């Protein structure tokens, strides 16, 4: 009987003009989001690739220039230990040229690119200053994090629930208001069977369309040929669970026997609360309980410390030589300049360390607070899971920054001794410079972050939907 009613409901949906409007709109939005996401990713990836390519070209040119200079010095029988500012100056190579690093995008990055502006994925590693000094972005409003570029994540989080609610706000209310529900139940069919058939037919249409369109986007944008099928499978699971929650919520609202108009208003309020109001309130509470030092205050402090360090440059360098008697001052002004820059940056980093510690500590507290209260909104939970599945979330970016910090320490260990030893950077040294290689997170690490949110969303769906089915036992068939 369930199968027959399911088939009948599908026929009714096919004849309903609202269904075609919803499906057409959904298809158009999903395809546009996929194309827009691909363009955004290609643009960002192109900028990073140009930076890396330009650096590699510069290294090749500098190496050839150093070889030519060394050949000339050999012909003139000059010592290869002498150098001028340029391709053989260690400070120029290690600090001025530096080493750009970039976080490679995952194949699913085009599905969720909204946080790319908040989490830069390319940095310049220098032996003279710390990358960490540039990490001063505050925790943004969770609602602002949701509203980013128009990508698939935006469609799933915002518009997907609205389309579901558009087809479920009058699940049984329409038949009840027209009097046909009593006639239907006069047949050998129970109310629970009828409700199940209605929910399954609509979920097969909307959730099925979401999954099929996601697969098409994955293939048409070329992401399927870049790998990432594990992340793609997680994305499909999360999309299905999120849709199931909204169907469960619609079922619960319909179970109280109110009119279709009343159901529509209640569901609209639920959408507004979960998607807009709760994220905003969570941000206000988090910012109030754990205020983060402002970015402008940090920039101002950094400028002040830089000015003081510049004014006290000679004293700082003299103190440095006093603390390191094994390093003698050099007569070469350029060599002393390189040392001075290193000493200056060390001083700035030491003076700004307390500010950075306060900033990082408060930021971590805010993030923990938002993650904990985020479970009040299934939309926030789903948003976090989609970002983790796409590889564009804060966890992967934090792991990338940890690798960048480790690489910078290696880079400084390689170049700073050359500054102090006043050693020329020879052409052969270009071949042994440290190279940054990003170590991708393992599938186990991604799954570990997603297990609890997935279980939570499954439990929330089961509770809401289960209570709705139970409430339907008391459904008033007649007004």
- CA dist., res. 1 & res. 194, Å (int): 9
pLDDT attached to residue 4? 80
For residue 101, the cross-strand partners are: 123
Identify the CA nearest to 472 among candidates 197, 162, 180, 241: 197
pLDDT tens digit sequence for 350-395:
776 777 777 778 778 888 888 888 899 999 999 999 999 998 888 8
pLDDT attached to residue 163? 92
Identify the CA nearest to 110 among candidates 143, 150, 73: 150
Tell me, what DSSP letter sits at residue 71? H
pLDDT attached to residue 117? 57
Torsional sign, CA 169, 173, 178, 181: positive
CA distances from 315 to 36, 309, 310, 344, 418 (A): 55, 9, 10, 10, 22
pLDDT attached to residue 457? 95
CA distances from 311 to 31, 305, 337, 344 (A): 58, 10, 14, 10
pLDDT attached to residue 296? 61
Per-residue burial over 179-201, b = 16 or more CB atoms within 10 Å of its CB, e = otherwise: eebeeebeeeeebebbbbbbbbb
Is residue 197 within 8 Å of residue 410, measured between CB atoms? no
pLDDT attached to residue 478? 60
Burial class (CB in 10 A: 0-12, 13-18, 19+), 428: exposed
Per-residue burial over 8-32, b = 16 or more CB atoms within 10 Å of its CB, e = otherwise: ebbeebeeeeebeebbeebeebbbe
**Look-up of token digits 């990713």:** 41
pLDDT attached to residue 295? 60
Residue 296 has a CB neighbour count (10 Å cut-off) of 9
pLDDT attached to residue 142? 45
DSSP H or E run through 250: helix 229-254
- CA dist., res. 203 & res. 197, Å (int): 10
DSSP H or E run through 115: none
pLDDT attached to residue 310? 57
**Look-up of token digits 């499909």:** 236
Half-sphere exposure of 138 (CA within 13 A, CB side): 16
pLDDT attached to residue 314? 56
pLDDT tens digit sequence for 294-314:
666 666 666 666 666 555 555
Residue 343's contacts (CB-CB under 8 Å, 6 or more residues apart) are: 316, 317, 320
Residues in the chain with pLDDT values less than 70 = 85, 114-119, 129-149, 292-344, 347-349, 352, 478-479
pLDDT tens digit sequence for 201-227:
999 999 999 999 999 999 988 888 888
Q: What do you get for the CA distance between the two ends of the chain, in Å?
A: 27
Is residue 198 within 8 Å of residue 171, measured between CB atoms? yes
pLDDT attached to residue 337? 63
């Amino acid at each position: 009987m369930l199968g027959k009613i399911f088939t009948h409901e599908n026929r009714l949906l096919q004849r309903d003009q609202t269904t075609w409007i919803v499906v057409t709109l959904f298809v158009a939005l999903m395809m546009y989001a996929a194309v827009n996401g691909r363009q955004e990713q290609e643009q960002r990836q192109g900028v990073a690739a140009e930076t890396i390519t330009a650096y590699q070209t510069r290294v090749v040119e500098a190496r050839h220039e150093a070889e030519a200079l060394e050949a000339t010095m050999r012909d003139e029988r000059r010592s290869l230990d002498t150098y001028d500012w340029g391709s053989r100056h260690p400070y120029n190579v290690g600090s001025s040229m530096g080493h750009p690093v970039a976080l490679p995008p995952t194949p699913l990055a085009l599905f969720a690119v909204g946080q790319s502006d908040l989490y830069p994925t390319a940095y310049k590693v220098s032996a003279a200053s710390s990358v960490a000094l540039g990490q001063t972005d505050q925790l943004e409003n969770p609602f602002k994090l949701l509203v980013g570029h128009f990508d698939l994540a935006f469609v799933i989080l915002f518009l997907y629930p609205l389309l579901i609610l558009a087809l479920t706000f009058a699940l049984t209310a329409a038949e009840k208001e027209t009097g046909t529900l009593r006639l239907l139940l006069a047949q050998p069919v129970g109310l629970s069977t009828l409700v199940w058939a209605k929910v399954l037919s609509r979920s097969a249409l909307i959730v099925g369309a979401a999954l099929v369109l996601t697969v098409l986007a994955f293939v048409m944008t070329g992401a399927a040929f870049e790998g990432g099928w594990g992340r793609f499978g997680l994305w499909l699971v999360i999309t299905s669970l999120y849709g199931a929650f909204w169907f469960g919520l619609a079922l619960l609202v319909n179970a109280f026997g109110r009119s279709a108009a009343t159901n529509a208003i209640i569901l609209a309020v639920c959408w507004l609360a979960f998607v807009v109001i709760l994220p905003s309130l969570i941000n206000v509470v988090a910012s109030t309980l754990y205020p983060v030092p402002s970015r402008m205050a940090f920039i101002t402090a950094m400028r002040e410390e830089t000015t003081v360090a510049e004014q006290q440059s000679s004293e700082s360098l003299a103190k440095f030589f006093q603390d390191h008697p094994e390093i003698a001052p050099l007569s070469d002004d350029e060599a002393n300049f390189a040392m001075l820059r290193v000493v200056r940056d060390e001083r700035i980093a030491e003076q700004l360390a307390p500010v950075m510690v306060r900033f990082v500590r408060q930021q971590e507290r805010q993030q923990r607070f938002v993650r904990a209260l985020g479970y009040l909104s299934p939309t926030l939970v789903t948003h976090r899971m989609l970002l983790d599945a796409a590889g564009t979330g804060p966890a992967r970016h934090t792991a990338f920054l940890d690798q960048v910090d480790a690489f910078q320490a290696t880079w400084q260990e390689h170049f700073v001794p050359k500054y102090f030893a006043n050693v020329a950077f020879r052409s052969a040294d270009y071949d042994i410079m440290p190279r940054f290689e990003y170590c991708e997170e393992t599938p186990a690490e991604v799954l570990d972050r997603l297990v609890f949110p997935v279980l939570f969303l499954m439990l929330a769906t089961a509770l809401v939907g289960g209570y709705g089915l139970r409430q339907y036992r008391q459904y008033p068939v007649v007004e």
